Amino acid sequence: MKIDYDARYFSPKDVLECGQIFRFEEFERGYKVFSADRACYVYTEGKKTFIECDDGDYFYNFFDLGRDYAAINESAKAFGVPLLARGAKLGAGIRLLNQDAEEMIFSFIVSQNNNIPRIKRIIGRMCEKLGQEREFMGQIYHTFPKACDIAARDAAFFKALGAGYRDAYLVATADRIAKEGIERLYGLPTPQLKRELTTYTGVGPKVADCISLFGFGRRESFPVDTWIEKIYREDFGGTLKDRNKINAYFCGLFGENAGYMQQYLFYAKREGM
């Protein structure tokens, strides 16, 4: 199946390389993208971005194609914040993905105090060792492992994959999810969801915000990392030191669209705009 979309509001490079997803690789004219137990090929030609996949419904939702990003983009420019306006203008092709929540929990546990190339390698090894083998466009890939498959291994197994001190976090959280599931989390209000996520081993406030935003579709979430702290001080004149208070400031400022604004700000600062 092939899906097409206006490339002005769908740049595969900007969507995939902004830190919200770790399972993708360059392929031909674009990228292969992997989510849970599915795969797609995404690329831009002329004024259109195309998705080739076997499950159109899944990737239509995954890339959030039912949402009006032109309106979100214009709302970002209307705040009157120069950095945000520049990010919205030049990063208009950024989209927030609707990813598998369980995969996001484990992925962002791996991500803490880590860099993207290393995160991708660790997660890739987890998939190769514990995921199921599948084929897409004539090539083999591996699905993301289930919590029960992760829980069946000990910490030493994940340390050997490069997870470092996160090894124990992965095992403890996998064991809990394998026993409890995560279905109860979906219906929680966002503040309660964040609090509940922080009760999982290895999940702090920033990681919980990332999981909420990218795994549960809570667009009012606003992860605060060192980049956002820098933006807060340099572009908003902020004086707060506590990340939880900085998070509350931005959530209060941007409301239900906070997650989109976070991505535009991050993009602009990272690109030196």
Cβ proximity of 224 and 250 under 8 Å: yes
- Eight-state DSSP code of residue 188: S
For the question of residue 206 being annotated catalytic, the response is: yes
Catalytic residue among 194, 206, 230, 269: 206
- Eight-state DSSP code of residue 146: P
27 alpha-carbon distance from chain centroid:
20
Angle at 173 between CA 266 and CA 177, to 5 degrees: 105
Q: How far is residue 193's CA from residue 213's CA, in Å, rounded to a whole number?
A: 11
Structure tokens, 144: 């993301």
- The phi, psi pair for 186, rounded to 5°, reads -60, -35
Q: How far is residue 239's CA from residue 254's CA, in Å, rounded to a whole number?
A: 18
Instruction: Name which of 162, 164, 125 is nearest 145 in CA terms.
Output: 125
Q: How far is residue 187's CA from residue 149's CA, in Å, rounded to a whole number?
A: 26
Residues marked as catalytic = 206
